[in-house]
Amino acid sequence: MSDQPVALFRLGDKGAAVRSIRSLLLATGDLAPSSIETSDIYDEEVAEAVRAFQQRRGLIVDGVLGPHTHIAMDGAHWRLGDRILSHIPGHMLQGDDVAELQERLLSLGFTPDRVDGVFGTNTEQAVRRFQSGVGLAVDGSVGPQTLRAFADLTRSVSGGSPHTLREEELVKTSGHRLLGRIVVLDPGHGGGDAGTVVHGLTESEVTLDLARRIEGRLSAIGVTVLFTRSATSGPEDLLRAKMANEAHADIMLSLHCDSIDQSRASGVATFFWGLERFGAWSAVGEHLANLIQREIVSRTGLADCRSHPRGWQLLQRTQMPTVRIETGYLSHPEDAAKLADPAFLDTLAEAIVIALQRMYLGEDDTNATGVLRLGDLGAYNAKQRASAE
């Protein structure tokens, strides 16, 4: 995967900041309380606790406290109700309490866009709609009264996944054809970042080559294709997500090649947005990731490393279903030989385009969906009014 986060704290570092990292890890339960909890050394125990946290959150597991891990860890100790939540432009609140709030909004049918733990404009609007729906003062911030209304209402929704319900509806209303869609292709790395360089191959070049082959095929069937980078640029993931959001893309595909220190690992894997801890994920992302995985495995013979939910920034911050594809291991001699062959890249491109077509044809529509009883809101309103009199 070879996305290197900017290292802030790592093994051997010393200082007051390390002490606060220790207390964050205590709060997340990854570091056991011990006599040396006030130590200011980033020792192996801290690195191990950071790795355990990263593993749980679907972050890159390296034991290094970079910005992504720091943001996730900082937000992890908040529980819904600990603080008043509201949208602060320029300094958006982040944390597990925000994710929990978004989860509840979704389960009640007030879409905050997605459960990403960031209190942005969409979440504020969802809170306002909720407040207006249950007859509370509409201020867009979540204090005791709004929390009480949640507690009363959440019980009445059961079963299935509200995410599935919402996202499938989106695909349905946008029609069953690829014609006229906007697909953003994101060739990994680029600019000063070549990605993995091994076996005579450079990841940033392979991903761009593959993207161009996909582009040719998609353009031919009337799809508008946009790239997140050129042959010479390599923007940050956050910027790539922003570009796709501003383009109002229907789908984003991020292309990478995997690599690992030992040469035996091989195969293709796909990733979609999801946080298993909250039972929150992109249902359409998962569906598309599965379709792409299946097509690539059956057409190329690459080993099947399956589809997985991840909380990665690019997957988190994009507002459309986004799938990251790790198309084989450059570190594996046979995978690398395949990826060096233009005909193989054509087959890969073909498989990905077929998977997109399958999704829009809606061929298997079997996801379980929850039942939201809209009457519950009305009943709640009436009860509130009655008790106020």
Q: Which residues bind Zn ion (CB under 5 A)?
A: 2, 188, 195, 256
Helices (H), the chain: 16-28, 44-57, 67-75, 96-107, 121-134, 144-154, 162-173, 203-220, 237-246, 283-300, 313-317, 333-339, 342-361, 375-388
CB of 256 to Zn ion, least distance (A): 4
How far apart are alpha carbons 318 and 237 in whole angstroms? 10
How far apart are alpha carbons 117 and 56 in whole angstroms? 15
For Zn ion, the closer of residues 256 and 332 by Cβ is 256
CB of 259 to Zn ion, least distance (A): 8
Burial of 211 (0-12, 13-18, 19+ CB in 10 A): buried
Region at 196 (left for phi over 0; alpha for psi -120 to 50; beta for the rest): beta
For Zn ion, the closer of residues 127 and 325 by Cβ is 325
For Zn ion, the closer of residues 166 and 256 by Cβ is 256
For Zn ion, the closer of residues 253 and 359 by Cβ is 253
SS3 84: coil
How far apart are alpha carbons 70 and 53 in whole angstroms? 11
CB of 365 to Zn ion, least distance (A): 33
Six-digit token pair at 374? 């809209």
Q: Which residue is nearest to Zn ion (CB)?
A: 256
CB of 105 to Zn ion, least distance (A): 34
For Zn ion, the closer of residues 92 and 194 by Cβ is 194
How far apart are alpha carbons 244 and 217 in whole angstroms? 20
CB of 2 to Zn ion, least distance (A): 5
CB of 378 to Zn ion, least distance (A): 50
For Zn ion, the closer of residues 120 and 188 by Cβ is 188
